[in-house]
């Protein structure tokens, strides 16, 4: 059982927020609506710009499909020494079938297979759907009722080079008004890091900076333990 390090102050990642914004604008994402956020947790941090358009998940019309990503990611756990690695791209949506008992998974539900090292409940893969919920995610798993946050429990999967992917997801709101997030890092061969909870995202509710398209929405945040479902 890994003991989490204390959560690091958000100022450690806010210093690269301006660079994320500049990267988004230079990469041509300004033609779509853009949301900027930072996250920090035990040994992990990031500053991210997401671009999205009007396309939505066919099962959840309030879930907008993320079309582009830029930013930076750091991870000091397990000797990784990843410092401000450039986020290069999103992993493509595969629309894999979820478990037959999971009737609430979005249409964009996808899996990234990892040969070794993931917790047993992940069944050998990181789940993702690359969806953004401007007004907070609904329940998206039949036997996991907790929900909320601008990501759902499957979340985003993006590349940071060297064959490595990062998964960021929401664990949901357990009733105190804050959302807890989780972060995993892996290659197809093995899990490199798995921070199941204790990751906080910023800005606070209602303070998202939305560029060139302005989709306003409140999100709620929660810090709680993660129970991951695929």
Q: Is the pLDDT of residue 225 over 60?
A: no
DSSP 8-state secondary structure symbol assigned to residue 224: -
Q: What residues contact 64, with CB distance under 8 A and at least 6 apart?
A: 52, 53, 54, 55, 56, 57, 131, 132, 133, 134, 215
- pLDDT tens figures, 156-173: 999 999 999 999 999 999
Alpha-carbon 147 to chain mean position: 14
pLDDT grade for 175, boundaries at 50, 70 and 90:
confident
pLDDT score of 154? 98
d(CA 40, CA 74): 9
Q: What residues contact 134, with CB distance under 8 A and at least 6 apart?
A: 62, 64, 150, 215, 216, 217, 219
pLDDT score of 203? 67
| Cα–Cα nearest to 107, from 141, 58, 143 | 58
- pLDDT tens figures, 29-49: 444 689 999 999 999 999 999
The DSSP bridge partners found for residue 50 are 35, 69
pLDDT score of 202? 86
148 neighbors 137 (Cβ within 8 angstroms): yes
The whole-chain average pLDDT of the chain stands at 81
pLDDT score of 24? 42
Q: What average pLDDT score do residues 59-71 get?
A: 97
DSSP 8-state secondary structure symbol assigned to residue 18: H
Q: What angle do CA 166, 171, 175 make, to 5 degrees?
A: 155
- pLDDT tens figures, 177-215: 789 999 999 999 999 999 999 999 986 434 444 433 333
Q: Is the pLDDT of residue 226 over 90?
A: no
- pLDDT tens figures, 117-148: 999 989 999 999 999 999 899 999 999 999 99
d(CA 88, CA 93): 16
More confident residue, 16 or 226: 16
Burial of 158 (0-12, 13-18, 19+ CB in 10 A): buried
Token duo for residue 133: 């919920």
Q: What average pLDDT score do residues 19-24 get?
A: 44
Among 8-22, 80-94, 172-186, 216-230, whose mean pLDDT is lowest?
A: 216-230
Q: Is the pLDDT of residue 105 over 80?
A: yes
Domain ranges of the chain: 11-211
Q: What percent of the chain has pLDDT over 90?
A: 69
Alpha-carbon 180 to chain mean position: 11
């Amino acid at each position: 059982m890994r003991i989490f390090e204390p959560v690091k102050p958000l100022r450690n990642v806010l210093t690269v927020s301006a660079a994320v914004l500049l990267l988004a604008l230079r990469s041509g994402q300004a033609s779509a609506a853009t949301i900027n956020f930072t996250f920090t947790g035990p040994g992990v941090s990031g500053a991210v710009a997401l671009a999205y358009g009007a396309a939505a998940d066919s099962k959840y019309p309030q879930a907008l499909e993320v079309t582009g990503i830029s930013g930076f990611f750091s991870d000091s756990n397990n000797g990784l020494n990843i410092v401000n690695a450039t986020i290069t791209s999103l992993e493509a949506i595969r629309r894999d079938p979820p478990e037959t008992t999971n009737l609430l998974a979005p249409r964009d539900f996808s899996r990234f297979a990892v040969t070794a090292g993931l917790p047993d409940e992940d069944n050998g893969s990181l789940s993702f759907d690359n969806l953004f919920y401007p007004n907070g995610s609904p329940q998206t798993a039949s036997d996991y009722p907790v929900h909320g946050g601008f990501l759902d429990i499957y979340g985003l999967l993006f590349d940071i080079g060297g064959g490595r992917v990062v998964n960021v997801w929401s664990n949901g709101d357990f009733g105190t008004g804050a959302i807890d997030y989780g972060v995993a890092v892996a290659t197809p061969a093995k899990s490199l890091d798995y921070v199941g909870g204790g990751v906080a995202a910023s800005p606070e509710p209602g303070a998202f900076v939305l560029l060139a398209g302005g989709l306003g929405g409140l999100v709620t945040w929660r810090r709680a333990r993660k129970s991951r479902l695929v």
